[in-house]
Amino acid sequence: NIGVAPNGVTKFARLTKSGAQWMHHLVIWLVNQL
């Protein structure tokens, strides 16, 4: 289980990071539409 936990945390961190980048691009796109 010790090896599984860090792997899950890493996957979660990657999803969070990619999600933040997606939101960032979305905000920029919305601002450019104004």
Q: Which domain holds residue 3?
A: 1-34
Report the alpha-carbon distance of residue 11 to residue 30 in Å, rounded.
28
Quick one: pLDDT at residue 14? Answer: 83
Q: Nearest 5°: CA angle at 26, between 13 and 12?
A: 10
Distances (CA, A) of 8 to 5, 23, 26, 31, 33: 5, 22, 27, 35, 37
pTM for the full model? 0.49
* 3-class DSSP state of 1: coil
Q: Encode pLDDT of 13-26 as tens digits.
A: 888 888 888 889 99
Q: How many domains does the chain have?
A: 1
Q: Which helix (H) or strand (E) holds 2?
A: none
Instruction: Kindly report the length of the chain.
Output: 34
